[in-house]
Structure formats: C-alpha cells, structure tokens
Amino acid sequence: MFTGIIEELGAVKDIKKDSKGARLSIFAKTILEGSKIGDSITVNGACLTAVNIFNNSFEADVAPETLKKTNLGELKNGSKVNLERALRLSGRVGGHLVTGHIEGVGVIKEKKRFGNSVEFFIEAPKDLLKYIVTKGSVAIDGISLTVVDVKDRSFSIAVIPHTLDVTTLGVKSIGDSVNIETDIIGKYVEKMLLNPSPPFNKGGNGGIINEAFLKQHGFSK
C-alpha cells in the first residue's frame, strides 16, 4: 500500500524487453535507503518488486499485464519516473490509500495555468471515469491528487508548483500518457451494492438497495 506522495524523481537507466515482459533498471537514491530485495516500489504509480538493489539504482521485472495496462512500456533510457516506497503503518498518510495497481492509461488533452497552479485535463476510459468524482482523490502516475471536475470523457486536476517540481508532471506535455488508479473505496462500495451478502440480499428484491428495501428495514422519509 502507498500514499501517492512521491519520494523521489528517478530516471530510467536501462529497459530490456522480450516476449516474457521487461526488466527496468532505474537510477535512484532516496528510495534505496532501507530498501531490500523483494520490497515493493511504485514506478509511475505501478507497484513493482525490487529484484536487485545497487548503490545508485535498482532493478524490477515488469509483467506483460503491467506493460499492457500502464505506460511503462513507453519508457526509454533517461525517462524521468516517480518513485515511492511502500507505506509504513507508523507514518502519516499525506495523500490517500494507493494500491499501486494501475487500472488504465489516460492522455493529457490540455493544460491551463490558474494562478500559481496548472490544471491538467486528462481524457480517460469511461469505465474509469465512473469511479472519479469531483473533489475526490485519484492517483496519476502514482501522484495523489484532488479531482477538480469530471466531464463525459475527461477529468481535471490542479497541480501546485511543488508537485510540478518534484514529479514527472513538470515535464509532461499535451498528448503524453499517464497511469491512472482510481480510489479503491468506490469500487468496494459498488461491488457490495451490486452483489450484496446477507443480510442485504434478503427480502426478494434481488439484493437491490432501493426505497422498498429501506422501508422494510425501518427507514422512512
């Protein structure tokens, strides 16, 4: 589990791809402190396992499914990447709970400056947009951000100068892709409402929580 607060801006040292996936080698410093082989590290929001750790870099294997669902396959030598170590339960959660399991890829369609921040307008798949709500949380390339607005095919986020300085959003341009992870809470709520367990599936209404169900269980207008 992660927080979406990026610890370090790393750079791709090397990437080797084959039919079985890819191996990423990434220059880093801060996130190597206290890290060991087998630890989880997010790279642009995708949770990867460190398989080798060196003085100034680490290596991680990327499965075909991860290459399919993320933009990691677009990385090249020298590409900047957002890095975060797994959450310590004794620490503060400065962002929101992020799993590191990327659900899809969006595209930056527009950037506008508003005061000291830059608003990014990101086109996203419809099956992800239903989980993104105004003023809710979303992870973009692993960065915990607040949603400004949601449209039929896109959503927007406002990014402050500090975040632009210490993450890849500072170098992202219109047309660039971003990894998206929506807030996990909404997905759990949806599943429980659509496929409820007892006692919510009693009463012959197919498990649907509607006005009749609420009346049956003592709720009234």
Catalytic residues: 2, 40, 47, 49, 63, 101, 146
Q: Which residues share a beta bridge with 112?
A: 119
- Per-residue CA distances from 117 to 66, 80, 120 (Å): 31, 21, 10
How far apart are the C-alpha atoms of 131 and 29, rounded to whole Å?
35
How far apart are the C-alpha atoms of 78 and 53, rounded to whole Å?
19
Structure tokens belonging to residue 134: 């105004």
SS3 (DSSP) at 31: helix
